[in-house]
Amino acid sequence: MKNTVKILREKKNMTQAELAEKSGLSLRTVQRIEAGQIPKGFTLKAIAVALQTGTEELISLNNENSNVERAKLINLVALAGLIIPYGGVVFPLILTLKTKDPLNKELGKNIVGIQIILAGIVSAGLIISPFIQKVLWIKTPLFLIFLIAFLCAKLIVIIKNGICLNKKGNLCIRLKNNFL
């Protein structure tokens, strides 16, 4: 709502004080709304009338922006797994659990699900790599190949999902059935 009200107010070349006067609200209320407080009932209707727009438009614009931004943050935090073991699972999971919006929660669960599968595959690969190396009499440390492949796969998934979140507002790489 914050950006929507501010953008519409600025398009009308109004100050916060003028919007407050035109809507019949206090200046402090307008400031709170632009700072992120979500108006309800009379306040929402008064702002919409003063800005000559519908209440549905204010609400829908707010929901679209916040959903995409929170999902982008959850996806970006998965990069922690490149440095901290299982950080790509733990940190996005914490953000997802703290999210109250149902759509953000669902997107977060999908991101965490993919990260769990990637972490499981690399863990299994790192565990069995010495045995495969010994059986095949390979001199090169095989675990490095698994580790590099994991890092590349993780980067590809995060970048691809980040691009899709920017363009479509949804994930491109997701699980068919989420297990979280």
Could you report the per-residue pLDDT of 134-153, keeping only the tens digit for each? Answer: 898 888 888 888 888 888 99
Length of the chain in residues, anyone?
180
pLDDT at 149: 87
Predicted confidence at residue 64, as pLDDT, reads: 46
Burial of 170 (0-12, 13-18, 19+ CB in 10 A): middle
Average pLDDT for consecutive 10-residue bins of the chain (180 residues)?
Answer: 73 91 92 82 88 74 59 90 87 89 83 91 88 86 85 92 86 82
State which CATH number among 3.40.50.1220, 1.10.260.40, 3.40.50.2300, 2.60.40.10 fits the domain covering 2-53.
Answer: 1.10.260.40
Q: pLDDT value at position 93?
A: 92
pLDDT of residue 65: 46
Q: Which residues contact 164 (CB under 8 A, 6 or more apart)?
A: 170, 171, 172, 173
- Domain positions in the chain are 2-53, 65-167
pTM summary value = 0.60
Dist CA 92 CA 77 (whole Å): 6
